[in-house]
Amino acid sequence: MTATGTDRAGAVDGGDPVRPGGPPTRAGGEGGWTGSLRARLTAALPPERALPDAQPAYVASWVYLFGVASLASLAVVIASGVAIALGGVRWWHTTVVGHFLNSVHLWSVELFFFWMVLHLWGKFFMAAWRGRRAATWVTGAVSFLVSVACAFTGYLSQTNLDAEWIATQAKDGINSTGAGAFWNVLDLGQMLVWHVMLLPLAVGLLVVAHVVLVRLRGVVPPIGTADDGRPSDDPAAWR
């Protein structure tokens, strides 16, 4: 769309007066709620900080890779889960492709928890909640707990004797908490919907919030260094 003339707020045809050649915008500021929101988002999380191409020197350790390994595993979990969902609730027992995707889903979940627990150990011993990073720590911990619930409903959704056995063993524990009144582990339909939609959605939103908070606050510096508790975008942390 091409702007012509001058609109009521003073935008002039021919581009941004601040950025010659750029798209037409309102003179003197960001226009409308979209412009205001864009300005606030880019001020809170500039592009070079949202997608950095370098990290502080102290990040040069294998321990810092456990988080991204968890994310990579989660991507495979979601992709294989979506592929499995296409065929219904039993086909992975009877077809070669179903066996393969079932195994990919299982082992990617195993790896997801493997890396996530190592990530948790590393961040615990780093006291990674320092420097206004409490929300980062909490979203990570809660996403771990919700992932456990999601994996549990996955066991219940296998549509085999293993799922029936786990459900009958779990029902008494769940009922003792009172949650059994509305969360029935013997109800395959309910557990399947929780497994394929509600809990993955919760995990996904929590993980996105967790990663955004990591970008906002930066990777936690080592304990006892000059950068202790300082946001990692401080130039002193880059030496």
Partner 1 sequence: MVLPFPVPPVVGLLLNGDGYYLHWGFFRMSLANLVVVVLMIVVFVAALLAPFPHGRRRSTPPGERS
Give the interface with partner 1 as residue ranges (CB under 8 A).
46, 48-49, 52-54, 57, 60-63, 65-66, 114, 117-118, 121-122, 233, 235, 238-239
Buried b / exposed e along 26-44 (16+ C-beta atoms within 10 A): beeeebeeeeeeeeeeeee
Write out the two tokens for 122. 């590393």
Q: Shortest distance, CB of residue 182 to partner 1, whole angstroms?
A: 32
Q: Would you say 100 or 205 has its CB closer to partner 1? A: 100
Compute how many other C-beta atoms are within 10 angstroms of the C-beta atom of residue 150.
22
Side chain identity at residue 12, one-letter code = V
Q: Would you say 117 or 145 has its CB closer to partner 1? A: 117
Place of tokens 């190592």: 118
Q: Shortest distance, CB of residue 193 to partner 1, whole angstroms?
A: 29
Q: Shortest distance, CB of residue 152 to partner 1, whole angstroms?
A: 16
Q: Would you say 66 or 137 has its CB closer to partner 1? A: 66
Q: Shortest distance, CB of residue 118 to partner 1, whole angstroms?
A: 5
Q: How far apart are CA 148 and CA 160, in angstroms?
A: 20
State residue 187 phi and psi, 5-degree precision. Answer: -90, 100
Q: Would you say 115 or 194 has its CB closer to partner 1? A: 115
The alpha-helical segments, DSSP class H, found in 157-227 are 161-177, 188-193, 199-217
User: What is the three-class DSSP state of 75?
Assistant: helix
User: What is the three-class DSSP state of 161?
Assistant: helix
Q: Shortest distance, CB of residue 37 to partner 1, whole angstroms?
A: 22
Q: Would you say 7 or 233 has its CB closer to partner 1? A: 233
Q: Would you say 31 or 122 has its CB closer to partner 1? A: 122
Q: Shortest distance, CB of residue 235 to partner 1, whole angstroms?
A: 5
CB 78 within 8 A of CB 200: yes
Q: How far apart are CA 13 and CA 5, in angstroms?
A: 6
